[in-house]
Structure 1
């Protein structure tokens, strides 16, 4: 039976999951700038383009079957093993396709020189898909502490490997080695943590019973992949690998807050919402509270990054990347706009509404691809990022409408409550940007020290301004969170 869900279970697992992502954040915060200083934008671009194909096939390979295991009432052994073998068969077939047609794939992405990397990285697909079943078992059991430990360890080993190899002059192979080492360590860790061992059991009837839900998940994953990777493909095809590398580096760094909070929270919320399938009122309250909290935390980080993007880009990545600071700032804005949508995917998955998830993902993918393509062809990389922000603003409205309609809650009032922290974040970021424009000339001299001072002043001012706005606009939410904390302390006592 799945683990019982209560406030203590949820907060403990969210804590472990976020701790895992925070540790990964620390690694990326250190390793990405180091690698960016050692490697060229072209080298980043080649690996990013090759990884696009591998990520796409890994994302859709399981066809959502592993996610279906989380919703099952019982942990049926035959079903679990059947899903594993189907996943493995699909993974091997996909890996073979990448290896055989590497050159056409790379050419379609506008980077034929990445074909040799595609053949090597094709072997990542089985490594990644073979761990899906084990991860789903951990999610069912709400054992995110074990997943967190192995995630941190695998990412640490991969990051150290990449930096060492880059310093030794291995170039792009340092990035490739990072992916393989992390995948191998994580796969072994998941099997160890769950105690899962594949057995020769296969029931197509059991797998077939999961397909309706899983195909909806697969469809949404395909379109989500298009959403997240199409900007890189468009930039690579029309603007070249140097701009693709600049986009990739900026996107990696601006995605860190998302990876810390969202990846940690979303992994936990999916099984949590699925456990609440028989209590619509409780699930609705959980949706609103989790959406407000994630927006309160994530939105100021992203809009604040936009406010200090110019000194931050120089400080973190070095002078060879300094020209790309508008790209970093606009990518941060685009992700900040989507802050209220952070909990929507796990809610729809946990509610069993993969059909809604599918068509929303399809509309978002069309918007992002169309708007970014228009921006690239009419104004270059910066214009493309501006249009990405526009696409996400439109997405925010119709995504929120779809989720609140599914949840049977009023759209306008719910939309206002969940986006209010984002409005406060925008005001804060604009105030910080205005402040820096007027004080940066008087900060300590020297390019590097001036950048450090700007980031420090911006962070301090932003925290003070946002804290004040939060007290003025979110008193009810803060009071509710305080009550939950006191309730948990009382239960522990």
Structure 2
């Protein structure tokens, strides 16, 4: 039986997830720049391209079956074991196929020299898919605290391994080792935390019951993959591995705030929304509130990176990467534009609307692929990132219309309420960008520029939020008081 979902349960699990992601991507904040100073853009590009194929096949292999375990009210052990073995069988088949066709995939992605890495990294697929069921069981029981601890441990060990091997001169193998070490430690942790132990049980009938939701989810994940990874593939094929490496490094860094807040939030909100299917009003309120809150915290991070991208790139990545600062800035801008969409995927998943997810993912993938391709063909890497921003503006409007229509919320009012914090963050970022231009000559040091602009941006944004989001702030304070009230009562009674 799944636990009851209330404010305390959700906030506790969001807290654990955010803590986990903060620690994980805090490691990346430190290790990616350090690795970038040791390794070359070409080495980053080779691993990024090879890992792209692995990520894609992992999404195909999971087929949404494990995620469907979160939705069911009564979960039978026979269903759980059947999903595990189905995942493992498909994973081994895909890994074998990738190993055999590594040369073809590498050449198709414009990185024929990375074929040997594709073969090695094929073995990541079964390692990653084996943990899907265990993770779904933890998510179903809202036990994200256990997952958080193992995620941090896995990423920490992987990061230390990569740095050590890079210093020892292992080159590209340092990045490969990081992926394998993290995956193995996380797999062991998921089994330990969930206490799940596979048994040799398989029921095709029970698997068929999950297929409808799973196929829609699988389709959406495949096209989401195309959306997120197609820019790297297009850049690699048409502009070369050096530009692909610059894009990869900038993308990994600019994704840190997004991943800290968004990934943590999505993981918790999916099971939370699924428990609200019988209370539409409550689910609608949760959608608007969670979207507002995530945008308030996430948008200033993304637009802030855009504002200080030039000194930030030099400070963090070093002189050899300084030329790529427009890429970092535009990638952060493109991600910031989509911050109001941060809760849409878990909402649609939790509501069981996998077909809607599929269609949205298809249209978005076509849009991003077309815009980035046009930018690459007509200009270059910078133009491609500008067109990615344009694609995301269109996505924001279209995605909001689909979700609010599905939820029964008026489109214009929903878009206004959820996008207002993003507009506020953008105004702050423009002000910071103007400030940077004014102090550039008087403060030539990149570190001081980042500190001054960061402090100024924080003050400006805090003032604007208090000015534009008073109702939201009051609501959050009220929720905090309600959450703390039981503790206060217990303390008084003691």
Match of 1:344 in 2: 344
Question: Partners of 1:261 and 1:431 in 2: how far apart?
Answer: 24
Q: Aligned residue for 2:458?
A: 463
SS at match of 2:342: helix
CA distance in 2, matches of 1:285, 1:84: 35
User: Which residue of 2 is the match for residue 475 of structure 1?
Assistant: 470
Counterpart in 2 of 1:70?
70
- Can you list the C-alpha shifts for 1:150-197, whole angstroms capped at 9, x where unaligned? 000000000000000000000000000000000000000000001101
Q: Deviations over 1:23-47 (max 9, x none)?
A: 0121001100000000000000000
Q: Quick check: 1:252 aligned with 2:252?
A: yes
Instruction: Indicate whether 1:92 and 2:92 are aligned.
Output: yes
Q: In 2, Cα distance between the equivalents of 1:83 and 1:404?
A: 33
CA drift of 1:75 comes to 2.3
Q: Deviations over 1:313-370 (max 9, x none)?
A: 0000000000000000000000000000000000000000001111001111001000
**What is the 5 A alignment of 1:191-230?**
191-230=191-230
The answer to whether the aligner puts 1:24 opposite 2:24 as a matched pair is: yes
Question: Using the alignment, how far apart are the partners of 1:247 and 1:394 within structure 2?
Answer: 22
Q: Measure the CA separation in 2 of the matches of 1:465 and 1:132.
A: 43
What's the secondary structure of 2:169's corresponding residue? Answer: coil
Q: Distance in 1 between matches of 2:462 and 2:258?
A: 21
Equivalent-residue separation in structure 2 for 1:100 and 1:65 (angstroms): 26
Which consecutive unaligned segments of at least 5 residues does structure 2 have?
Answer: 489-494
The equivalences for 1:154-173 within 5 A come to: 154-173=154-173
Report Cα offsets for 1:417-443 as digits up to 9, x if no partner. Answer: 000001111111011000110112112
RMSD, aligned α-carbons = 0.5
Indicate the SS of the match to 2:142: coil
Distance 1:258 1:427 in 2: 19
Aligned to 1:335: 335
- 2:317 aligned residue: 317
C-alpha distance in 1, partners of 2:26/2:340?
A: 24
Alpha-carbon distance in 2 for matches of 1:227, 1:492: 45
Aligned equivalent of 1:283: 283
2:137 is the alignment partner of 1:137: yes
Match of 2:492? none
- TM-score normalised by the chain length of structure 1: 0.99
- Once the two structures are superposed, the pairs formed by residues 140-151 of structure 1 within 5 Å of their partners are 140-151=140-151
Q: Distance in 1 between matches of 2:4 and 2:183?
A: 31
Q: Say whether 1:423 aligns with 2:402.
A: no
Give me the whole-angstrom Cα distance separating, in 2, the residues matched to 1:426 and 1:23. 27
Query: Secondary structure of the equivalent of 1:271?
Result: helix
Structure 1 CA distance, aligned partners of 2:442 and 2:382?
29
Give the number of equivalent residue pairs: 488
Out of 454, 464, 485, the residue aligned to residue 480 of structure 2 is: 485
Q: TM-score, normalised by structure 2?
A: 0.98
CA distance in 2: counterparts of 1:453 and 1:59, whole angstroms: 43
CA deviation string 1:276-332 (max 9, x = no partner): 111000000000000000000111110010000000000000000000000000000
Counterpart position of 2:491: none
Mapped partners of 2:15, 2:435: distance in 1: 35
Q: What is the rounded CA distance, in whole Å, between the counterparts of 1:362 and 1:465 in structure 2?
A: 38
User: Counterpart of 2:18 in 1: which secondary structure?
Assistant: helix
TM-aligned CA deviation for residue 491 of structure 1: 2.3
- SS of the residue corresponding to residue 322 of structure 2 reads helix
Distance (Å, rounded) in 2 between the aligned partners of 1:61 and 1:282: 34
1:413 aligns with 2:413: yes
Tell me if 1:233 matches 2:233. yes
CA distance in 1, matches of 2:257, 2:74: 35
Q: What SS is found at the alignment partner of 1:441? A: coil
Residue 298 of structure 1: aligned partner: 298
Structure 1 runs, 4 residues or longer, greater than 4 Å off: none
